[in-house]
Structure 1
Amino acid sequence: MFDSRSRRSRVLIQALATVLTVPFLLPLMAMVQGSFAGRGIGNYQKVFATGVVPTYFRNSAIIAVSVVVIVYVVTMLAAFGFSKLRFRGKEIWFWALLAALTMPEAVLLTPLFVMASRFDLYNEYAAVILPLAALQTPFTVLLARNYVGGIPNELMEAGKVDGASILQVFRHVILPLTRPIAATIVLLTFINSWNSYLLPMLMLNDPGKQVVTLLPSFFTSQYTNDQTGVLAAAVITAVPAVIAYLSAQKYFERGMAAGALK
């Protein structure tokens, strides 16, 4: 077995981690460096001078928080049902849900647009929130099901002996024990929703409802290509996601490991 306690092993692990990190860090460093080219901090002032940054941030926050709430509630209920309850066709329904992981977002854009237009949801937040929640739920259910499945059934039985219903067992026994995986689900869902680009671009044509990922488009058009403005807007767009990850990094890593192993 690989022993990471020796000095040589730690050096090898550190070297491998550095090699794996470099391809991801270099583009980020180039983006930040390029955002200061020319006018320096003036590039960021130029982005805020557009006057749309607060509106775009508000819209992205509304969408991201709404998606997080929907995904969390649906995921916890589904994970509890698939791991602890018995009902006909449970495995069939679970694998049908996982089959949705094979559907890329780009393939679904046309049918989603048609449905949004048919139900008069075009230019509404719901046209973005509901598809984003549906696209993220299969993976989060997979993570949460593994975690909830590792909770001893004896705890549920003890709750039933005390007279608790299934919903009370879920609320007072299961949910408090799923906080690590819940933190992972919330963080993943928030980052994916905040960084969503295709669905908001397609569904939200009203300038007052567009999101922060469309901010760089202010500096590119048929006749202009302000790359410093694009890079500065990209950095501003990424800041909330980076802060969210750094704030919950410990819980995120713990939840990912627990969801993968249990």
Structure 2
Amino acid sequence: MFEIRTRPGRVLLQIAATILVIPYLFPLVVMVRGAFAGEGLENFAAVLQVPGFGRFFVNSMVIAAVVIALVYAVTMMAAFGFAKLHIRFREVWFWLLLACLTLPEVVLLAPLFATATRLGLYDTYWAVVLPLAALQVPFAVLLTRNFVKSLPDELFEAARLDGANSYRGFIHLVLPLTRPIAAAVIIFTLVAAWNNYLFPLVFLQSAELQTITLVPQFFVGQFSNDQTKILASAVITAIPEVIAYLSLQRLFERGLSAGAIK
């Protein structure tokens, strides 16, 4: 990562970054303005009054939390193995894992549906949690492996000299030192799990298991299409993600700038 020390250079960099961000902010501004159009705050009140809205919100929280826990655990162990352990054909396994990034969700729907039905997981949280976690692991490992690889080997050698095995090195060295990249993994996984629409729509049939991303369906019908309330539901859905990012922003930026992307 380059560093600009002069004040004029920093000002120019800030201006350039602001100009690059504007196209991404435009859809958000349009969404918020549309949510307040028409009846204003009544649009948000209508969304909150959707039958079962609280239950949908809790379902999304449960699914996102379990997905994050699974992705974090698997990613950290895989990244440690690919970066620091001497595993036979390590690079082959790593590139096979990255090949999974080429698989879109739509292509996997039919085999996932057949598997979930046969295993008795259909219409349960696990029918959504397991595919979501599996799809997030390859990208998370790609980010985390570079970060773990940048950790000094001398730390692990010193731990071995003190009698620590790989497990203790992982617990006492990798996990504490990878908190910045862990924040990035959590944010990316939260966004993917919280915003997912396809898997809950296909694998969750019971009304009490539906997620918050399906709330806009209540305002779309054969003879109605209330866009203001749809946009209001989108704004409400985005609030937890914004709060999570603001809470982990510093660690998130440190994780990406300290070796996650090279």
TMscore range, shorter length: over 0.9
2:25 paired residue number: 25
Classify the secondary structure of the residue corresponding to 1:123. coil
| Contact persistence 2:67–2:129 (CA under 8 A) | yes
Q: Does 2:184 correspond to 1:170?
A: no
1:104 paired residue number: 104
Task: Report the number of matched residues.
Answer: 261
Classify the secondary structure of the residue corresponding to 1:225. coil
84-93 vs 56-65, which deviates more?
84-93
Q: Which amino acid aligns with 2:16?
A: L
1:195 paired residue number: 195
Residues 259 and 143 from structure 1, CA distance in 2 versus in 1: closer, same or farther, beyond 3 angstroms? farther
Distance 1:45 1:2 in 2: 47
Classify the secondary structure of the residue corresponding to 2:159. helix
CA positional deviation for 1:4: 6.5
Classify the secondary structure of the residue corresponding to 1:70. helix
CA positional deviation for 1:192: 1.3
Distance 1:87 1:110 in 2: 34
Map Cα deviations across residues 183-234 of structure 1 (whole Å, 9 max, x no partner). Answer: 1111211121111111111111111001111111110011211111111111
Distance 1:181 1:100 in 2: 21
Map Cα deviations across residues 47-105 of structure 1 (whole Å, 9 max, x no partner). Answer: 11113221111000000000000000000100111111112111110000001111112
CA positional deviation for 1:115: 1.2
Structure 1 segments, 4+ long, off by >4 Å, are 1-4
List gaps (5 residues or longer) in structure 2.
Answer: none
List gaps (5 residues or longer) in structure 1.
Answer: none
Distance 2:215 2:24 in 1: 22
Residues 144 and 47 from structure 1, CA distance in 2 versus in 1: closer, same or farther, beyond 3 angstroms? same
Distance 2:88 2:3 in 1: 44
CA positional deviation for 1:19: 2.5
Q: Does 2:249 correspond to 1:249?
A: yes
Residues 51 and 259 from structure 1, CA distance in 2 versus in 1: closer, same or farther, beyond 3 angstroms? farther
CA positional deviation for 1:261: 5.1
- How do residues 205-220 of structure 1 correspond to structure 2 at under 5 angstroms? 205-220=205-220
Distance 1:10 1:182 in 2: 28
Residues 118 and 252 from structure 1, CA distance in 2 versus in 1: closer, same or farther, beyond 3 angstroms? same
Superposed CA RMSD in Å reads 1.7
1:38 paired residue number: 38
* Residue identity (%): 53
Residues 167 and 49 from structure 1, CA distance in 2 versus in 1: closer, same or farther, beyond 3 angstroms? same
Distance 2:129 2:5 in 1: 44
Q: Does 2:6 correspond to 1:5?
A: yes
60-69 vs 174-183, which deviates more?
174-183
Distance 2:79 2:121 in 1: 30
2:88 paired residue number: 88
| Contact persistence 2:183–2:248 (CA under 8 A) | yes
Distance 2:46 2:220 in 1: 14
| Contact persistence 2:80–2:148 (CA under 8 A) | yes
Residues 261 and 226 from structure 1, CA distance in 2 versus in 1: closer, same or farther, beyond 3 angstroms? closer
Q: Which amino acid aligns with 1:196?
A: N
TM-score under structure 1 length normalisation: 0.94
